A = this chain, B = another copy of it.
């Protein structure tokens, strides 16, 4: 499982990490398995984990006053899951993180990551690259949500996250796009005809 993390680090940083440097990662991360429907984080509690998904899929969502769930993020293999705000500032989270499939995770804590950052140059670089990527992705998603029609949102999803389409149920994809399941279904049908 650790070799998945190792391969990932090499891929993202365009480097080959040494055994010595990787040993710091092995110390910082431990294995955690979560079954489908189990939670990594519950609303109201402090997020203690930064999790690398070695296998499986997860979702991060809030529940509004009307009881409706809003999915703010999906995670699949090689993605990171955490509520960074809660994780860093130790404040109660407004989010839930739930396994949508049985997951193999490599998890670490705030303290361990801080020391890892000092031990490994490559970890700092990794963090920087990931932050840039996620910033750019967030920017695009914001643009989508403020300016696209339902049909355009669906096309955006197909374009930018085709892996999600057949992996997650439509009602969740709808939630992720800010649509109702009914609208999602109708728009999808329209697009298939065209």
Contacts and interface: CB of A to CB of B under 8 A. Distances in A.
Among A84, A139, A178, max chain B CB count under 10 A is at A139
A153 to B, nearest CB: 10
Contact of A135 (B135, B175, B178): B135
Given A127-B128, A131-B131, A177 B146 contact: yes
Interface string A122-149: 0010011001101110110111011100
Contact of A142 (B85, B128, B145): B145
Interface string A176-188: 1110000000000
Interface size grouping (class) on chain A: 20 to 34
Number of copies: 2
Contacts of A68: 147
Nearest to A117: B128
B135 A84 contact: yes
A176 B68 CA distance: 25
A66 to B, nearest CB: 10
Interface string A154-171: 000000000000000000
Interface in A79-109: 84-85, 88
A137 to B, nearest CB: 9
A164 B64 CA distance: 26
B132 A84 contact: yes
B138 A139 contact: yes
Interface string A52-83: 00000000001010001010110000000000
27 contacts: A62-B143, A62-B147, A68-B147, A70-B143, A72-B143, A72-B146, A84-B132, A84-B136, A84-B139, A85-B136, A85-B139, A124-B124, A124-B128, A128-B128, A135-B135, A135-B138, A138-B139, A141-B142, A142-B142, A142-B145, A145-B145, A145-B178, A146-B175, A146-B176, A146-B177, A146-B178, A147-B178
